């Protein structure tokens, strides 16, 4: 019988290196466009200085990782108990398959299966699991479930794109990392995945090629691409997914995968640290089930706060609103130096 489990996780790439480091911050500090006063801890907020400490953030980075992993392990336990037929993961496409040749707002990836080698690029540092560069992972897809979901959405006027094979990369990092993190202890994770790509980066997708702009050569208004779908549209789409899946024969875990405000998208902070007050406001609304506040959030506010990737979470919250479910657990993991705040949340069946 149909049932839904809701989970919110992160796919933060900073969890994967053997040595955890504030990678984006270290890169920013090399940017010649960064004003001199922000180049050293003296110019940073107190919390940021404390996290950086006297080891360039190394100890904090490891502690941050362990805190996140402990929470993700709990989501894995819930997933195992729920025994889904497949999972649907809302994740951003960071210039992976959404490139110059086609950028939909949403794309349901109806793959039979996919092979990934996450450590194959020569510039990839040694990974936490000490897996070799040629280590491959085989993820099963769920073509029937993906086609069903895309069909019901299109019939209900959410004209999403779909794909039977990738255009460029086998799978975006949002999905690969979600699978790798949900199997952090490498006991195996044989649950089929329906990746549901969201064009979270919108105006900055092609211009930034899915990562950070440099302050030395910033994007102009003219370089901006058309926008991402609005938070309200993501919310309504998530609600429509929940309705469709409840009418299906399947048990499905709906998973939002992304960190919250990103330092490297928060221009008003010179890309040094994320917009924690904005994250806290949405987190409070999440805890209390005030989902109307989520739906009313304008895209401009999301962009101003570097919360672009949270559009994945707007899909999940729309689904949970439809099911009238508040979180049974929600943890806010705050940081300045590790690029983004993370939230891990569960919405039990
Ligand atoms: Fe991402």
Average pLDDT over residues 21-37: 96
Decide: helix, strand or coil at residue 48: helix
**Structure-block tokens of residue 123:** 């510039």
Ligand 1 centre distance from Cα of residue 182 (Å):
16
Ligand 1 centre distance from Cα of residue 83 (Å):
26
Tens of pLDDT along 79-114? 999 999 999 999 999 999 999 999 999 999 999 999
> Structural domain boundaries of the chain?
3-347
From residue 122, alpha-carbon distances to 63, 126, 134, 171, 346 in Å are 27, 10, 11, 18, 36
| 63-66 contact pairs (CB < 8 A, 24+) | 64/20, 64/333, 64/335, 64/338, 65/14, 65/15, 65/20
Is the pLDDT score of 28 beyond 80? yes
Is the pLDDT score of 231 beyond 80? yes
Ligand 1 centre distance from Cα of residue 210 (Å):
8
**71 confidence band (pLDDT: 50, 70, 90):** very high
Residues 86, 252: contact at Cβ < 8 Å? yes
Instruction: Tell me what percent of the residues of the chain surpass a pLDDT of 70.
Output: 100
Which residues lie below 8 Å from residue 112, measured CB to CB, with a gap of 6+? 140, 141, 143
Ligand 1 centre distance from Cα of residue 4 (Å):
24
Q: Which pLDDT does position 349 carry in this prediction?
A: 64
Fold of 3-347: Protocatechuate 4,5-dioxygenase; Chain B (3.40.830)
Ligand 1 centre distance from Cα of residue 321 (Å):
24
From residue 20, alpha-carbon distances to 60, 201, 336 in Å are 9, 25, 15
Residues 307, 259: contact at Cβ < 8 Å? no
Q: Which pLDDT does position 211 carry in this prediction?
A: 82
Which residues lie below 8 Å from residue 270, measured CB to CB, with a gap of 6+? 34, 35, 38, 215
DSSP code of 248? S
Compute the distance between CA of residue 255 and CA of residue 268 in angstroms, rounded to an integer.
Answer: 30
């Amino acid at each position: 019988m149909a049932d839904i489990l809701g989970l919110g996780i992160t796919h933060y790439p900073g969890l994967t290196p053997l040595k955890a480091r504030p990678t984006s911050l270290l890169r920013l500090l090399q940017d010649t466009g960064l004003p001199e006063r922000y180049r050293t801890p003296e110019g940073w907020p107190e919390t940021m200085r404390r996290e950086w400490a006297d080891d360039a953030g190394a100890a904090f980075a490891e502690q941050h990782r362990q805190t996140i992993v402990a929470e993700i392990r709990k989501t894995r336990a819930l997933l195992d108990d729920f025994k889904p037929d497949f999972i649907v993961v809302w994740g951003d496409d960071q210039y992976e398959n959404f490139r110059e040749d086609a950028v939909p707002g949403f794309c349901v990836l109806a793959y039979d299966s996919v092979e990934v080698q996450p450590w194959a690029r020569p510039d990839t540092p040694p990974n936490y699991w000490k897996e070799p560069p040629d280590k491959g992972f085989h993820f099963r897809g769920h073509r029937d479930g993906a086609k069903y979901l895309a069909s019901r959405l299109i019939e209900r006027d959410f004209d999403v794109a779909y794909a039977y094979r990738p255009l460029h990369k086998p799978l975006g990092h949002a999905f690969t990392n979600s699978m790798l993190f949900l199997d952090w202890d490498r006991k195996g994770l044989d649950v089929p995945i329906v990746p549901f790509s969201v064009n979270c980066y919108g105006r900055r997708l092609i211009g930034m090629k899915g990562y950070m702009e440099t302050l030395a050569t910033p994007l102009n208004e003219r370089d901006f691409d058309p926008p991402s779908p609005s938070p309200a549209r993501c919310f309504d789409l998530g609600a429509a997914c929940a309705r469709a899946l409840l009418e299906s024969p399947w048990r499905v875990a709906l998973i939002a995968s992304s960190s919250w405000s990103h330092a490297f998208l928060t221009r008003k902070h010179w890309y040094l640290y994320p917009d924690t007050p904005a994250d806290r406001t949405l987190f409070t609304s999440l805890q209390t089930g005030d989902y109307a506040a989520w739906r009313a959030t304008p895209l401009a506010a999301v962009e101003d706060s570097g919360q672009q990737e949270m559009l994945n979470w707007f899909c999940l919250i729309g689904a949970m609103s439809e099911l009238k479910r508040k979180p049974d657990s929600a943890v806010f993991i705050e940081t300045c130096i590790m690029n983004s705040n993370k939230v891990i949340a569960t919405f039990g069946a």
